Amino acid sequence: MSPARSTDDHWERWGREDPYYGVYAHDSMRRERLTADALDHFFASGQTHIEGVFAYVRRYIDPAFSPRRGLDFGCGTGRLVIPMAGLMDEVAGMDISSSMLDEARRNIDARDLHNVHLLKSDDALSQLSGSYDFIHSYIVFQHIPPERGQVLFQRLVKHLAPGGVGALHILFGKTFHAANFGQTPSSFHDRILAVKRGVHRLLMRLMGRKAATEPEMQMNIYDLNTLFFMLKTAGVGEIHTTFEDHGGEWSAFLFFRKP
C-alpha cells in the first residue's frame, strides 16, 4: 500500500472554511447552520471530555494528579485547551493549521484567558520548549499519516516530564474490515482511492470546470505494537486504555505515566 499523503493544506482549509465541522463532524457544526446553542454544546463537550480525562487519571494513575504545565496537541479551535486552562498554570495548544489557531485565539481571547500559548506544529515539534506534566491529544493522530504520526508520538513522549502523564488517542481498526481484524486490506485502500480520483476527474471534465470539493479528512489506522514499543522504550511501565467506537471506527485512548 502506498503511504497516505499529508493533508496539512486541507487542515488549513478546514480552519478557514468550516472550522467547527472540521473538529466535530456533525451537521449542526456546519458554518451555514452553526447557532449559538450548537457552539455552547461544542464547548460544553470539551469541558466534559477534560473532566472525564482528569477523573480517569486520578482514578487509575495518580489520585493527586494536578499538572502545572499542559499541552494539547492538535488543539483545533480550542475546544479542549480552554477547559485545560482552568486546571493548570500554563497550557499550550499546538496545531498544524494556522487558520485553526486563529479561531482558537479568538475563542481564548473571548474568555479572557491569559495562560494559553498557541503554537504552530511541525514534524520536529520545534516550537515546544521544555517538558510538560500533561500531554493530551484527542482525535488528531487519526488524521496524520502513521509513518509521520508515529514519529510525532515518540517526540511528544520525549517532551513529557518525569512523572508526567500522557493521554493520547489512537485509531486502531475499523469494523467494516472485521474480516481483516479491523485493518485495511492493502490493495482495497489503493483501489478505492484510485476509483474516487477517477470519478472526480471525470466529473470535472464533464462539467468543464474545476468541481468544488471539500477538504480531505483522512482516518488513518495506527499499529499499536509500534506505539507500545516506543512507550516501553521510554520507560513506561503501565498503560491504561479506554476503547471508543466512532461509527465503527475503533480507537484506544492511551493513558500512561513516564517514570
Q: Which residues bind ligand SAM (CB under 6 A)?
A: 11, 23, 74-76, 79-80, 95-97, 100, 121, 138-140, 143-144
Q: Which is nearer to ligand SAM, 76 or 173 (CB)?
A: 76
72 vs 133 by CB, closer to ligand SAM? 72
Q: How far is the CB of 137 from ligand SAM (least distance, A)?
A: 7
- Closer residue to ligand SAM in complex, CB, 118/236: 118
Burial class (CB in 10 A: 0-12, 13-18, 19+), 152: buried
Tell me whether residue 27 or residue 208 sits nearer to ligand SAM (CB atom).
27
For ligand SAM, the closer of residues 121 and 184 by Cβ is 121
Q: Which is nearer to ligand SAM, 9 or 62 (CB)?
A: 9
Instruction: Using CB positions, name the residue nearest to ligand SAM.
Output: 76
Smallest gap from residue 95 Cβ to ligand SAM (A): 5
Residue 139 and residue 7: Cα distance in Å, rounded? 15
Closer Cβ to ligand SAM, 182 or 215, answer by number: 215
CA separation for the pair 244, 222 (Å, rounded) = 15
DSSP string, the chain: -PPPPP-HHHHHHHHHH-HHHHHS--GGGSTTT--HHHHHHHHHHHHHHHHHHHHHHHHHT-TT---SEEEEES-TTSTTHHHHHTTSSEEEEEES-HHHHHHHHHHHHHTT--SEEEEE--TT-TT--S-EEEEEE-S-GGGS-HHHHHHHHHHHHHTEEEEEEEEEEEEEEEGGGGGGTTPPPHHHHHHHHHHHHHHHHHHHHHHTS----PPP-------HHHHHHHHHHTT---EEEEEEEETTEEEEEEEEE--
Q: How far is the CB of 138 from ligand SAM (least distance, A)?
A: 5
Write down the least CB distance from residue 246 to ligand SAM, Å. Answer: 11
**Least distance CB 143 / ligand SAM (angstroms):** 5
Question: At 100, which amino acid appears?
Answer: M
CB of 215 to ligand SAM, least distance (A): 10
Q: Shortest gap between Cβ of 162 and ligand SAM (angstroms)?
A: 25
